[in-house]
């Protein structure tokens, strides 16, 4: 018996392996594609930031809504195994369609490097995304539930370990996807899953269960409404109004599912905060210094998951249990939400630090102006009515001057005096460039927010007497100013050239600054030494390492909330509705994403730190509501309830036999464990 049990255990580990590797490959493909999606929208389809992020969030939301469809197909029709296979094929077709949509040569008849028919590429990529959403969303609830199905009812500890390993695989997949291309993984997902085909425990679909559920709920509501007069005796639960027509077992199962779904109502708020990690926190990082922006953003969460899940599972939770505390799943989820709220408080504190170092940008009714002098002598600049600036040659005003009106008149103390009227941009920042011929002074628009991704915005004013060529920039005429170019942090070299003459200009950059470089007429005679620099915007000074606590807190929250949520959804679902509850759980994520899309985008607060605190407070409020709901929730053993109802209805021999067998097996397991212990002693 000992030998056959060991063999059984080894076999189980083997087919659980196939299932978790399948999830690993699927997440690898999904996150690999998602990582480059916004870039594809921005730089291939040439969409603006707002449209790109909206479509991105809509796609993510769709991926977490389609599980409902997958669950219906699996539980009512195909069964989980076939659903996973068929929807993986849909997924693969989606990835291929998406890949084809990125080949610009298809519509680039004139071979200029840009597609000629954007509509075609947009249509193809949208079709690809819809197929991927159907595939990924469809198989996700089935894989989780299918994995759970491989365990018997008494193996709750192993079941919890399975969901932890399952979550580890999700994150290992997403981590690796940043290194290897996603397409290869789609094929391997399918192959790995089919390879284990013969070994799985496959539960059969039980007819059109979702349709029966809907009809049963509809009947209960209608029947309750028909008997609303007080002369009819009350029933324990409103679903009991379906007793007249529907099977007691189905009613009991619906009650279990509804109880859990009701509990899920406040949960999307967690995901609303979690999903802002990829948007708001990424933007926050661009206003900070430190050279690990992209690595930090894409890998810190999965890396922390890979470390925290085992620590929690093997150390923290057992320790809490040893202290005699009952850290039940719903308590864990509440604490998880509080951790996420703390992460946002931490983000708010970091934001306050950043705000202290940010320039004072103009409000929508103000205009800001700086003056740059490339004239041969110091100038006295008067800006009507009462702004007087003394600016030396190849220098600039100390900082921007803020105006609450747009029309200004500038006078220079040249001989004769030069006076010129300008209209400033409302809500904008500009520089008044005074060239070697001051009569042609002009306004140039400046950056009015931190350059993206921690880059630096630089430009040159040509004070040389002829056209100049500068590396990677168009040629500039005398007295003209180039547009801004974005350069990365670190040492950058620029070669300035006019005919045979040239010199090299080197400069070390930090993060998120903006500079105007003034080129004098002597540039070639002193080997670029005389180029002066005007700092339009200071480099970022708050280090990105300060974001680590918020990532740590949100990931700790995720482990408590998300891994436990997966386990809870499986353990509290009746046998024939496991995928449906998994889908319900995933839908909380979809709703969270939709809230980000609507509330977070529309209702921006003027101060970012205040917005972070608002979200933190909302989540604390929601977690209090959730803890009250959880207090009234009684954990159930769905199998036990189902058996009880069956018993009340008269025994079903086949089911009872199965249960007896399981009990016997459980007894045997226990005996064997004792046996092993005794042998060891
Ligand atoms: C955002 C990370 C790469 C992945 C994240 N830690 C995670 O595992 N998930 C976020 C939503 C649920 C879960 C997933 O299934 O991908």
| Atom of ligand 1 at shortest range from CA of 586 | 12
Query: Could you tell me if 9 and 35 are in contact, meaning their C-beta atoms sit under 8 angstroms apart?
Result: no
| pLDDT band of 196, cuts 50, 70, 90 | low
**CA–CA separation, 440 and 423 (whole Å):** 15
User: Structure tokens of 21?
Assistant: 């590797």
| Length reported for the chain | 681
| pLDDT band of 577, cuts 50, 70, 90 | confident
pLDDT at 671: 44
| Atom of ligand 1 at shortest range from CA of 558 | 6
Q: How far is the CA of 171 from the centre of ligand 1 (A)?
A: 7
The secondary structure of residue 420, as a DSSP letter, is: E
Q: How far is the CA of 301 from the centre of ligand 1 (A)?
A: 9
Average pLDDT over residues 127-133: 96
User: Structure tokens of 490?
Assistant: 């670190």
Q: What is the dihedral of CA 572, 573, 579, 583, to 10 degrees?
A: -60
| Residue 637 CA from chain centroid, whole number | 34
User: Structure tokens of 646?
Assistant: 């069956």
Backbone dihedral region for residue 650 (phi beyond 0: left; psi -120 to 50: alpha; all else: beta): left
Q: How far is the CA of 444 from the centre of ligand 1 (A)?
A: 45
Q: How far is the CA of 170 from the centre of ligand 1 (A)?
A: 7
Q: Would you call 288 helix, strand, or coil by DSSP?
A: coil
Q: What is the pLDDT of residues 420-455, one digit of tens each?
A: 999 999 999 999 999 999 999 999 999 988 887 789
Residue nearest to atom 12 of ligand 1 (CA): 562
| Contacts of 25 by beta carbon, 8 Å cutoff, 6+ apart | 173, 185, 186, 188, 189, 192
| pLDDT band of 674, cuts 50, 70, 90 | very low
**CA–CA separation, 420 and 408 (whole Å):** 9
pLDDT at 9: 66
**CA–CA separation, 149 and 80 (whole Å):** 10
* Token pair 């909302």 in the structure block, residue: 618
Pairing of strands 490-498, 501-509: antiparallel
| pLDDT band of 414, cuts 50, 70, 90 | very high
**CA–CA separation, 156 and 640 (whole Å):** 14
ipTM, 2 dp: 0.98
User: Structure tokens of 501?
Assistant: 């003459």
- The lowest-confidence range among 64-68, 450-454, 536-540 is 450-454
Residue nearest to atom 11 of ligand 1 (CA): 589
Residues whose beta carbon lies within 6 Å of some atom of ligand 1: 27, 31, 170-171, 174, 301-302, 305, 558, 562, 589
| Contacts of 289 by beta carbon, 8 Å cutoff, 6+ apart | 454, 510, 511, 512, 539, 540, 541, 542, 543, 544
Average pLDDT over residues 655-677: 45
**CA–CA separation, 304 and 551 (whole Å):** 8
pLDDT at 294: 61
Query: DSSP letter string over 623-659?
Result: HHHHHHHHHT-----HHHHHHHHHHHH---HHHHHHH
- Shortest CA distance to 623 belongs to which of 266, 332, 295? 266
**CA–CA separation, 537 and 459 (whole Å):** 12
**CA–CA separation, 302 and 475 (whole Å):** 46
Count CB-CB contacts under 10 A for residue 278: 19
User: Structure tokens of 18?
Assistant: 């196939």
Going from the C-alpha of 438 to that of each of 126, 373, 394, 504, the distances in angstroms are 54, 9, 13, 28
- Shortest CA distance to 447 belongs to which of 488, 486, 491? 486
Residue nearest to atom 16 of ligand 1 (CA): 170
pLDDT at 373: 96
| Residue 222 CA from chain centroid, whole number | 42
The strand ranges marked E within 393-489 are: 395-396, 401-403, 407-412, 418-423, 429-434, 442-445, 456-462, 469-470, 485-487
Q: How far is the CA of 480 from the centre of ligand 1 (A)?
A: 50
Does 166 or 208 have the greater pLDDT score? 166
Query: Could you tell me if 401 and 387 are in contact, meaning their C-beta atoms sit under 8 angstroms apart?
Result: yes
Q: What is the pLDDT of residues 484-511, one digit of tens each?
A: 999 999 999 999 999 999 999 999 999 9
- Shortest CA distance to 35 belongs to which of 165, 203, 195, 176? 176
pLDDT at 676: 36
Q: What is the pLDDT of residues 382-411, one digit of tens each?
A: 998 789 999 999 999 999 999 999 999 999
pLDDT at 613: 95
**CA–CA separation, 88 and 573 (whole Å):** 25
| Atom of ligand 1 at shortest range from CA of 298 | 3
> At 503, which helix (H) or strand (E)?
strand 501-509
User: Structure tokens of 348?
Assistant: 């708010």
* Token pair 């000992």 in the structure block, residue: 2
| CA angle at 292 for the pair 286 and 294, rounded to the nearest 5° | 70
Rounded percentage of the chain residues whose pLDDT exceeds 70: 87
User: Structure tokens of 595?
Assistant: 């809230």
Does 352 or 71 have the greater pLDDT score? 352
| Contacts of 517 by beta carbon, 8 Å cutoff, 6+ apart | 458, 459, 460, 461, 505, 531, 532, 533, 534
| Atom of ligand 1 at shortest range from CA of 271 | 11
Query: Could you tell me if 368 and 428 are in contact, meaning their C-beta atoms sit under 8 angstroms apart?
Result: yes
Going from the C-alpha of 657 to that of each of 149, 393, 432, 606, 662, the distances in angstroms are 18, 97, 89, 66, 9
Q: What is the pLDDT of residues 445-482, one digit of tens each?
A: 999 888 877 899 999 999 999 999 998 787 899 999 99
Residue nearest to atom 13 of ligand 1 (CA): 170
Query: DSSP letter string over 317-345?
Result: HHHHHHTT----HHHHHHHHHHHHHHHHH
């Amino acid at each position: 018996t000992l030998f056959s049990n060991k063999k059984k255990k080894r076999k189980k580990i083997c087919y659980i392996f196939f299932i978790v590797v399948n999830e690993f490959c699927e997440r690898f493909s999904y996150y690999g594609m998602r990582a480059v999606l916004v870039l594809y929208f921005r730089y291939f389809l040439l969409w603006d930031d707002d449209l790109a992020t909206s479509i991105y969030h809509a796609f993510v939301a769709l991926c977490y809504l389609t599980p409902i469809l997958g669950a219906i197909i699996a539980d009512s029709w195909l069964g989980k195994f076939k659903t996973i296979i068929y929807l993986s094929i849909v997924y693969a077709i989606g990835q291929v369609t998406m890949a084809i949509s990125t080949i610009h040569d298809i519509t680039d008849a004139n071979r200029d490097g840009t597609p000629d028919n954007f509509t075609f590429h947009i249509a193809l990529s949208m079709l690809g995304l819809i197929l991927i959403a159907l595939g990924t969303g469809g198989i996700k609830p089935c894989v989780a539930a299918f994995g759970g199905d491989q365990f018997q009812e008494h193996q709750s500890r192993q079941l919890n370990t399975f969901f932890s390993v399952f979550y580890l695989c999700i994150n290992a997949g997403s981590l690796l996807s940043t290194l290897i291309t996603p397409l290869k993984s789609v094929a391997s997902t399918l192959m790995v899953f089919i390879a284990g085909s013969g070994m799985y425990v496959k539960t059969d679909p039980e007819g059109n269960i979702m349709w029966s559920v809907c009809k049963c709920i509809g009947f209960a509501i209608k029947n309750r409404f028909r008997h609303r007069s007080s002369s009819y005796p009350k029933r324990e639960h409103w679903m009991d109004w379906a007793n007249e027509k529907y099977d007691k077992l189905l009613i009991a199962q619906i009650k279990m599912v509804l109880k859990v779904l009701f509990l899920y109502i406040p949960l999307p708020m967690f995901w609303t905060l979690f999903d802002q990690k990829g948007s708001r926190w990424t933007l926050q990082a661009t206003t900070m210094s430190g050279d690990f922006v992209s690595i930090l953003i894409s890998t810190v969460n999965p890396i922390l998951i890979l470390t925290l899940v085992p620590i929690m599972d093997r150390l923290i939770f057992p320790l809490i249990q040893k202290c005699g505390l009952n850290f039940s799943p719903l308590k864990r989820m509440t604490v998880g939400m509080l951790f996420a709220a703390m992460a946002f408080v931490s983000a708010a504190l970091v934001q306050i630090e950043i705000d202290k170092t940010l320039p004072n940008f103009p409000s929508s009714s103000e205009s800001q102006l700086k003056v740059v002098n490339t004239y041969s002598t110091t100038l006295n600049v008067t800006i009507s009515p009462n702004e007087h600036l003394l600016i030396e040659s190849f220098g600039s005003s100390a900082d921007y001057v803020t105006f609450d009106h747009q029309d200004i008149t500038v006078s220079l103390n040249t001989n004769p005096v030069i006076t010129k009227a300008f209209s400033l941009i409302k809500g904008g920042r500009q520089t008044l460039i005074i060239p070697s011929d001051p009569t042609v002074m002009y306004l140039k628009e400046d950056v009015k927010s931190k350059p993206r991704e921690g880059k630096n915005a630089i430009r040159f004013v040509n004070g040389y007497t002829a056209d100049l060529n500068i590396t990677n920039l168009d040629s500039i005429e005398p007295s003209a100013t180039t547009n801004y170019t974005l350069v990365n942090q670190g040492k950058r070299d620029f070669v300035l050239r006019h005919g045979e003459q040239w010199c090299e200009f080197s400069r070390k950059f930090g993060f998120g600054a903006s500079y105007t470089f003034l080129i004098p007429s002597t540039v070639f005679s002193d080997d670029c030494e005389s180029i002066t620099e005007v700092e339009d915007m200071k480099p970022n000074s708050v280090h990105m390492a300060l974001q680590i606590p918020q990532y740590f807190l949100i990931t700790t929250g995720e482990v408590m909330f998300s891994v436990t949520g997966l386990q809870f959804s499986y353990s509290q679902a009746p046998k024939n509705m496991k995928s449906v509850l998994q889908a319900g759980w995933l839908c909380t994520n979809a709703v969270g994403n939709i809230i980000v899309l609507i509330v977070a985008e529309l209702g921006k607060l003027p101060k970012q730190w205040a917005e972070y605190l608002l979200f933190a407070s909302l989540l604390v409020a929601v977690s209090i509501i959730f803890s009250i709901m959880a207090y009234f929730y009684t954990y159930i053993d769905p199998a036990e309830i189902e058996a009880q109802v069956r018993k009340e209805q008269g025994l079903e021999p086949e089911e009872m036999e199965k249960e007896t067998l399981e009990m016997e097996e459980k007894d045997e397991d226990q005996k064997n464990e004792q046996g092993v212990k005794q042998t060891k002693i």
